[in-house]
Amino acid sequence: MRSNRQFYIDGSWVQPSSHAVIDVINPADESVAGQVALGDANDVDKAVAAARKAFETFSQTSVEERLALLDRIIAAYQRRIGDLALAVSEEMGAPLWLAEQLQAPVGLVHFQIARAALANYSFEQGIGTTEVVREPIGVCALITPWNWPVNQVTCKVAAALATGCTMVLKPSEVSPFSATILTEILQDAQVPAGVFNLVHGDGQGVGNALTSHPDVDLVSFTGSTPAGIQVARNAALTVKRVHQELGGKSPNILLPSAELASAVKAGVAQVMLNSGQSCNAPSRMLVPAKRMAEVAQLARAAAEEWVVGHPASNAKMGPVASEAQWNKIQRLIKAGIDEGATLVTGGLGRPEGLDTGFYVRPTVFADVTNDMTIAREEIFGPVLSIIGYADEADAVAIANDTVFGLAAYVQGEHSAAEAVARKLRAGQVTLNYADMDFAAPFGGYKQSGNGREWGEVAFGEFLETKAIVGSRKAA
């Protein structure tokens, strides 16, 4: 049993204002894995006050001081990476192989990339007689989800620290264990008191208090689009900056020039990874309509390779993170069946032999039309929708016919794929399953959010621009 019943405020572990706690459920077997304290507005006030005080000095630190801090964090992180992997597997059900190879290491990558970007970042620029200065924005509220818990926390924390901001983190109450370990890492790395603060809790008790707090200068939120709308409403009362990474319904266009067998298999794998719980998952596969039957059979074979089982086993896929998520996925699978999509494999209920735990059958639908519920709503589970298109223009139109615009994928001859990519309304387009580039900006168009995370581009989200007019001599 893990216990996350203290908060980290002003450089110390402290008792919450109240005694409220909730159980953290292990999604693999539905047992209670531990407890987390539920903070309230009083805890938020204390954490924000600590961050506000620390900003006075941390905002004035030199690049060299912050580089040294990031070096210490990287070293401390490397010592605890195994602990992070175990925590992620337990709290949200990631198979151990995934937690060890991706979920935990990606946080280290974000700190390393931020460190490299900071070493070469220019905070000042001369324009005419004016010196344009980029300065840290202030106190940042960081609110993160449960699906890639370490990734979502570290990409925000790394950018905030690199730019000289202070912060209060509210991680998901579904996956709090890894955030507590990360806090221990930051403490071990001697992050100055008040620069980083942790308050556990839910959206109602902590999230609302943070996003509406008058002494918070920026909210960086990752989560669902409906929750993001509420965050923006709260923040609007004090006209604070809001940066959001929200939902997605990413298209994956297989052009006629794509090698079909490998393109389908890789596309299925990217949907099934992390039990489908990735906002950028290519959950709509767009294929030439005349090849629908062939694609369906290839997708069936690929999906059935994704053996589902306990995270500690050799299974490729674990459970989804919660009962609420399992119920949502079941509802949407039923909608696909009811609306006439062809169920190729998977479907309702748990996989055979898995009667306890929030396990979902890897599911593929063919003959999907873009007006069906499974093509419109973010399922956030291991469910692929295959949609036929008539020609390239039709494929682009279908791909863009969504309220989302986080990511997109194109497979085929390189120049043709890049030409299609330039027509897609999405914040990140991946060609031919290129490896993830964590130095590239990540974020979306439309209802997938605003602003960008990852790498050097993310720094701009945490900086204000000041023009010092007359500081330079006229040419």
Give the residue numbers marked as catalytic. Answer: 245, 279
Classify residue 123 by burial, with Cβ atoms within 10 Å: 0-12, 13-18, 19+: middle
Closest residue by Cα to residue 385 from 290, 262, 281: 281
Q: For residue 470, count other CB atoms closer than 10 A to its CB.
A: 11
Residue pair 183/157 in contact by the 8 Å Cβ criterion: no
Q: For residue 65, count other CB atoms closer than 10 A to its CB.
A: 13
280 vs 224: CA distance, rounded Å: 12
Return the residue matching tokens 């735990």.
357
255's tokens: 């052009």
3 vs 460: CA distance, rounded Å: 36
Phi, psi of 409 (to 5 degrees): -140, 140
